[in-house]
Structure 1
């Protein structure tokens, strides 16, 4: 007697007839259409991914397809390439671009829609000195035009030369949101640089008045770095003790020094720290 055959069960998930839906197992077969966001804010991430193409002609055609949706005319592509200095090498493949050229291309992409708000992450990474100076001037010009420019960087020296307002966040907590100059002034590392041919004699006088005195460098013993006394008090003590001064300059902390001091309790990963 022949044995009955079992019907094979189809364990594949059923297709959802509703458009724009996807289930686990075949989510790659359906797409959920999303509305095109308005071009109000442009963000440029760190470094564009390495890609062997496309060439300029392909890029122009791609811009033509996107242009009507975003209201970007084709001539705007050439304008931003000229703005960032990539008009001549625009026909080259992107994979052959240097890191600095890729940074410029990322800036051109952000400027394409002429947005009022721009966000840049580590924008000067890989730039040569000329490129850094160009980038700094570009950001200031964009801000002078009334745009809001956000910069995210770990290079404190570059932020000191570029930014007007500083926002510092550590471990999810807002540490500071104020002008760069005010943030640097919060540091306790204020010192007075004193130049005198009588450095040893002045060091004794200032130490007796409660100051901390150190030579600025071993090679220049006639220049003293003094903390604990203001410049006017140092000048008065030098005058009372008939000590000649060649220089008396109050030196504030750099942005990097202030940042390291004011964020010391918010450092998440310390090099050389044993758990």
Structure 2
């Protein structure tokens, strides 16, 4: 390839990136003009801010900041108690500490699980969609096996086998959620590769890998954006469920663990232990569902003028 070809390819790539940047900016503006999606963005921003500023809002009092400090002399203290704005649990742990550091824990869980699931799904789905034939058949049967197991039962079995740990919960959820991304990517690749611009690139002599990298894969990722946004909320719900039944470390500053600790105290009038973390779980899941629905509307060509 001579110098002019290299310069032309570089110019094309730069132009392509600029177009995508403008589209992303336009997408964000349209999303923020959707009232429900904008409300979801605000809630997500507030929880993310709380997660990022956790060391400033509630200073860690233990070597492991995710382990809640305990005051056995002050158990089941109601909200507003001196030094305990949201009260304490039946073990003397500060609820505010668990809520704030639990936000960081939940954000980390969502990002890691969804990131791993998307990465695995894109690789597996791309192999199936591009190579086709026996590879496609083998991959899709593997996906079918994973999807045949109830969505919560499989991570429950994995987390139970590996032992109570948030790391094991993360691995268990990623082992389940990648399958839907693989199916989405495969279906989109099969659709996009029949497009006119892909046929034109093939006729011009572009390599198979170049066409896949430049034309097929970028235009197959739109549904993943919506699905990953929705899963950011679902992951916290599923993680909280696994933590609730005791598959996370004891004393962990995590919303599901706090709800589990507070379930017995609700009947005795100690409602705060479960209510505040439960409310954060609800808001986190609701916010990402609102944003996901907004993205779906914005990205759907039928809703565009």
- Indicate whether the TM-score tops 0.5: no
Normalising by the smaller structure, the TM-score range is under 0.3
Task: Return the index of the structure with the highest Cα Rg.
Answer: 1
TM-score, with length taken from structure 2: 0.25
Structure whose residues are more often helix by fraction: 2
TM-score, with length taken from structure 1: 0.27
- Relative contact order, CA 8 A, sep 6+: which one is greater? 2
Structure whose residues are more often strand by fraction: 1
